[in-house]
Amino acid sequence: MTINPTITTTVNPVGPMRVLSNREVNKLQDTSQSGLHSLFRQCALAILNCEKEGDDAAELMAQYKDFNIRIISEHRGLKLELVNAPAEAFVAGKLIRGVRENLFSVLRDILYVSSHFTEDSRFADQKSTDITHLVFQILRHANAFITHQMPSIVVCWGGHSISRPEYEYTKLVGYQLGLRGMNICTGCGPGAMKGPMKGAYIGHAKQRVAKGRFIGLTEPGIIAAESPNPIVNELIILPDIEKRLEAFVRLGHGIVVFPGGPGTCEEILYILGILMNPANKDIPFPLVFSGPVSAKEYFEKIDAFIGNTLGEEAQKMYDIVIDDPVEVSRIMRSGLEKVTRFRRKRGDAYYFNWLLKIEQQFQIPFDPTHENMAGLQLDTSLPPHELASNLRKAMSGIVAGNIKEDGVSQIRNHGPYQLTGEVELMKQMDTLLQSFVDQYRMKLPGSDYQPCYEINC
């Protein structure tokens, strides 16, 4: 049995989280089911484990079962005591600066969401406008808004389980975006979430961009499976996947999608479902699917699935660019100029996309229980944007069954999810998912993948 080297030490805060009230300390130390300690510990361990790549949250917790984190309150402020923390997060006994910043971002966001969402009765009804307001508040509290900066944030989506050529390609695209002054926002993990940041960092360095932004948006259910990569310099934790997705499209100004698996497909269906809403038909939002030559078949299957389920109108909402990073950056630069002109004309903020209509079905957290997965209406008789919402939920459930601790536990106890719907649609879905399995896009390479779902026609 491999013994992972650990360190026990205390850490001083960075950023605004220098003092806590007694109530906040008690909440973070509360080990009961309703307390925050378990969530805080899991997210903190994911941050400290950023030098290793994996996609099994339960395995990570088992490797460091003796890890703990405690709040030390002093008259001068607070400290964190790290007990049996991964040694890779330290250099010469000192916590790496970027890791320390992200650790206190976890503290900031977990406390803020607990105080302004979990315990606030205003959000009990989960009205659409209240949810958007909460996303705005979380981003503002994290200082994510630069009010006078022109639209420049490119969201990059893609899988954590991608091939080396695909990863190198994401770096080339990021490099071209960085040379053109664009900032990068991703899900903050490895693979296609790390590559664009790495490339853009070099592009910024060549252009002497001193304050490049590398924004990572994550959520507690997935952070341990996709620990923040070392390049992230602005980490923000949203309370669930739906608010994370809304944060991407409210904060970002355009999206580049790289190859991935069901999580990437979920993101594609999310943005298409929103853009297909008639209320959003005039809002510019550049969307590009791109990868190396080896990913051509992947995008052909994605494009065919979209055409066969959501129709030609959905296919018109994105460009597919194969093996041409310069063309991706050109399309994105042109698209951001259209976004700038549109928002200036409408008086909309550059830093938050207020005009985009996001309906409640895209905002309410979907709990991927076996009952809820089986009950999804998967039928082309639905309006396209509503079908996109249900297909997204199906993909979200598969992601949960693959890598999220609760989802993996459900599959272990009750067997695979059962997905049922219109015969032709389910055949299309089965073909797409099987292609993900065949291309090792469900788990990291080397993992023995057992499908967490069954398709029933």
Mean pLDDT of 376-399: 94
Average pLDDT over residues 429-454: 82
pLDDT band at 119 (very low <50, low <70, confident <90, very high): low
Say what the pLDDT of residue 54 is.
58
Out of 145-154, 161-170, 398-407, 443-452, which region has the weakest mean confidence (pLDDT)?
443-452
pLDDT mean over 89-102: 91
pLDDT at residue number 201: 97
pLDDT band at 171 (very low <50, low <70, confident <90, very high): very high
Confidence of residue 1 (pLDDT cuts 50, 70, 90): very low
Residue that has been written with the tokens 């592009």 in this structure: 203
**Average of pLDDT values for 435-440?**
86
What is the model's pLDDT at position 51? Answer: 62
Q: Which of 18-27, 316-325, 404-413 has the lowest mean pLDDT?
A: 18-27
Residue 278: pLDDT band (50, 70, 90) is: very high
Under the banding of pLDDT at 50, 70 and 90, the label for residue 75 is low
- Of residues 3 and 424, more confidence is placed in 424
* Tens digit of each residue's pLDDT (9 = 90 or more) over 198-229: 999 999 999 999 999 999 999 987 887 778 88
Confidence of residue 37 (pLDDT cuts 50, 70, 90): confident
Predicted structure pTM score: 0.90
- The percentage of residues in the chain with a pLDDT greater than 90, rounded to a whole number, is 66
Residue 330 has pLDDT above 90, yes or no: yes
Residue type for position 292: P
Work out the percent of the chain whose per-residue pLDDT is above 70.
Answer: 92
Q: Which domains does the chain have, with CATH numbers?
A: 6-119 (3.30.1850.10), 125-457 (3.40.50.450)
| Residue 443 pLDDT grade (very low, low, confident, very high; cuts 50, 70, 90) | low
Mean pLDDT of the chain: 90
Is the confidence at residue 446, as pLDDT, over 70? no
Q: Which residue has the higher pLDDT, 106 or 326?
A: 326
What pLDDT is recorded for position 144? 96
Say whether pLDDT at 55 is over 60.
Answer: no
Maximum alpha-carbon separation in the chain = 66
Which pLDDT does position 270 carry in this prediction? 97
In the predicted structure, residue 40 carries a pLDDT above the cut 80: yes
Instruction: Flag whether pLDDT at 76 surpasses 90.
Output: no
pLDDT of residue 150: 95
**Which range is most confident: 14-18, 160-164, 319-323?**
319-323
pLDDT of residue 379: 94
pLDDT for 220 equals 86
pLDDT of residue 113: 83
